[in-house]
Amino acid sequence: MLHGLAQSGPYFESKTKGFRRVLEPLGYEFYYPTAPTKCSPADISTDIDDLGASSADDYHTWIVPDPVNNEYRLPDITRTFLREYILEHGPFDGIIGFSQGAAVAGYLLTDFNHLLDLTEEQQPTLKFCILFMGFRFKPDVYQEQYIKHPITVPSMHVAGQLDTVVDVAKIHDLHAACAEGTGTYLEHSGGHFVPNSKGFVTKVAEWLQSLPE
């Protein structure tokens, strides 16, 4: 479970109780890493409240600004951290991300084991990914990866109809990076958050159960 910008693992865990309540009886176990890089409100262009941020002294980020090029990048520290986390706690069946965490997951899923330097034995091919408000990385340096390595892991891309943080077009851009027939698009009626309603999470559960073993 990869949290969003200015959140932490424990905070994201507290915000997804309803989500887990439906899926845990199906046998799913959830892990909530915290991004290794801390950030401050000054580093964040979006309103903190809109992000659904954690407490003021516990802001974390998976990606970091690149002020020289007026862009951002996925730092080596994030990839190293996730590799070590998987080696310690995995292997995993799937990956779920929210906002920035979903964007990171989406990029890594273009070639997950290669980008994290993991063998098939250390981490077998993931069975699914669920990306809430996940967007495609914008900097040019990442585009070749999306083009040459379409996402083949069965994926669900969720947009919030009232989301004012991640435009739905950006979610479609990541969805378009999937191999044909592998990506599912779904909307919920709220804003920038992971829906906890039983009705919505049941749709997610039904999708998971429809996937091949």
Q: Give me the catalytic one of 3, 155, 157, 163.
A: 163
Ramachandran assignment for 50, one of left (phi > 0), alpha (psi -120 to 50 degrees), beta (any other): alpha
Q: Which residues of the chain have pLDDT under 50?
A: none
The predicted pLDDT at position 47 comes to 57
Residue 55 appears among annotated catalytic residues: no
Residues 6 or more apart whose Cβ sits within 8 Å of residue 199: none
Q: Give me the catalytic one of 3, 54, 60, 99.
A: 99
Q: Please answer whether residues 134 and 102 qualify as being in contact, where contact means their C-beta atoms are separated by less than 8 angstroms.
A: yes
Give the number of other CB atoms < 10 A from CB of residue 34: 20
Collapsing DSSP states into helix, strand and coil, what is residue 179?
Answer: coil
**Closest among 20, 23, 1 to 205, alpha carbons compared:** 23
The predicted pLDDT at position 172 comes to 96
Strands 64-66 and 71-73 come out as: antiparallel
The predicted pLDDT at position 69 comes to 85
Residue 45 appears among annotated catalytic residues: no
H helical segments located in the chain: 9-15, 17-23, 48-51, 76-89, 100-108, 112-115, 143-148, 168-175, 198-210
Q: Give me the catalytic one of 60, 157, 175, 192.
A: 192
- For tokens 């090029």, name the residue: 69
